[in-house]
A = this chain, B = another copy of it.
């Protein structure tokens, strides 16, 4: 069906109103009507229910332009919490956020590494428990758990087509297993999409509602927000710029294609090149790779070591990062050309470390070669929460999803093509 799906008011009025209250801080009912376009009667009904459910508080009155002062509304921040988990080969990041998306607790633990998925899930459940107990939040107030990991993802089947090191995760029912282990409802989504949502809620994005978050962790991807909604594509895997082709004659990538961004410029490529330069490898403190003594540091940890060497003035390290940045910049330009973007945010754990090298290179590429540069510039910003944006986005997805009545067909991949309100992700299907 075309067009009007977006205009359906009842399915999303609750979440729309809540999102406006969140973004505004405090706002009156009249302000809500103006911001959402809903009638006063609709606003009145929705707000009454939000107050009854304890999600929104009345909080004093604002001066009115004539007439009686207007009652101001704000989120009841401590009424709900959500857990966000970012699972990556190199590390697992946990956050607990309140209803406003503010982080009230966070922790980082070892990544999935080479452990078996059920072992990792068991550990994650214990770590989530420790996170919740550490902060002393009543469990009944925890809405659920958002779990984000590298795509492609499929509901009730977990990851599909993983990088080689995570192959044992293919077709493992990650969401369902973690749901059983924690007793919390679990939403599964792509890490880069979650990063975009995390930036939207807590990052450097400000009021810009259409932007891309270019994500670099162990892999490379992007999350897309269009008009404040996450754009997820047909299966929740939109934004896969790690596997767009930058060189038709380039080396073969693990994904089956040739000359992908990730194989040319990803952290693993940088680390491999650094390791091949014996002097640089020693200067950066990389292990020799020979002898194969475990535990071998993660790709992200070794990338961080190269980035530190570059910062310490090691020219070979600097040259490697700049070459990676030039390739990433071309992929970023592809994304900007396809989406006609005005804003691009660099985020993710690897850019948390090396972003200051990448930022000027990406910005220069946009200024020089973005196709519509005669119409408008593309601004590139470095995230201020690059390491935790995916986990924050994961928690946000849960908060939003609890607040939106479960929509028809949400469980069917075929219906995921729509731009969904930020983070309405794949919900673990117990029955299915």
Contacts and interface: CB of A to CB of B under 8 A. Distances in A.
Interface of A: 1-13, 15-17, 19-20, 23, 35-38, 151-154, 160-161, 200, 207, 209-210, 222, 226-229, 231-241, 243-249, 255-257, 259, 264, 326-327, 330, 333-335, 337-342, 368-369, 371-376, 413, 417-419, 421-422
7 contacts: A3-B16, A3-B421, A4-B16, A6-B7, A236-B340, A241-B337, A247-B247
Contacts of A335: 338
Contacts of A413: 375-376
Given A1-B23, A3-B422, A228-B5, A256 B334 contact: no
B338 A241 contact: yes
B338 A4 contact: no
A374 B236 contact: no
**In the A-B complex, the 7 residue pairs with the closest CB atoms:** A233-B340, A8-B37, A2-B228, A160-B374, A4-B16, A238-B340, A152-B372
B340 A338 contact: no
B371 A243 contact: yes
A235 B340 contact: yes
Given A1-B20, A235-B372, A247-B248, 12 more contacts: A4-B19, A4-B36, A4-B228, A7-B8, A7-B36, A160-B375, A222-B338, A226-B231, A234-B340, A237-B375, A240-B371, A248-B264
Contacts of A239: 338, 340
